[in-house]
Amino acid sequence: MFLIIGYLVILAASVGTYAVHGSLGALWVPMEYLAIVGLMIGGFVAGNGPKAIKATMGALPSVFKGSPYTKAMYMDLLGLLYEILAKVRKEGLMSIENDVDNPDSSPIFSKYPTVTANHHAVEFLTDYLRMMVGGNLNAFEIEGLMDKEIDTHHQEAHIAPHVMAKTGDALPAFGIVVAVMGVVNVMGSVGQPPAVLGKMIGGALVGTFLGILLSYGFVQPIAGQLEQRVEESGKVFECIKLVLLASMNGYAPQVAVEFGRKVLYSTERPTFSELEQDIKSRKG
């Protein structure tokens, strides 16, 4: 929603203010638009492999949706972690084996749809719970492995914002290319009347205008949105990591989930009382 609002403000501030003292028809040069879009798509395809292209195309729709990483989602995540650890403390690690192996049919996981919608988080959680059930690794070893997996996730997740940022960086240069092509065309028509030449020069400059506007007004904001979404997604893994490690080090479930709560951003972090009340209401 905010991306769309931003786009409208950008168009109003650029094209809208120009329309006050100029003719919008002068900006309508279809071949310039076609050239810019073609160069952008060509650069995008030529500069990236199938994996990067697929990751970018898959990530783009998310910028037009609200962030799933809300306070309610983190309340659910901490509630899920508490319930799992409480069951382990009461009935032993083997009691969660079925929940871990089949989270889709687990009565515990099914209570928290906002968490199960994030299959990466569910996979991360169940993988390490499975290792805890196996009992073959200590907390230090699991922490090292968690850090490596989180780093790998971040590297993969940063592909899309990196690709969009690079595409945005190239657009002003593509605008210059289109403008130079237009100037070359003008130089081949020097015998035309001044009015005709002026229109042709104006059309050539539209290429530069488009390149800069599309770069900083449209593509770079998408890259920024994707980057922010990546940083938000990382908090889920950090939260799970700290809660599980606290549990492995012997802390009670109530204390373990507090480790995870403290790592969250202040804008989404529930207070101690809010989390306590939420857990009590679920138990009741």
Residue written as token pair 């922490």: 143
CA distance 263 to 98: 29
Encode pLDDT of 190-213 as tens digits.
667 776 667 777 777 888 888 999
For the chain, what percent of residues have pLDDT higher than 70?
95
Q: Whole-model pTM above 0.85?
A: no
pLDDT at position 80, please?
A: 94
Encode pLDDT of 151-186 as tens digits.
999 999 999 999 999 999 999 999 888 888 877 777
Rg (Cα) of the chain, in Å, rounded? 27
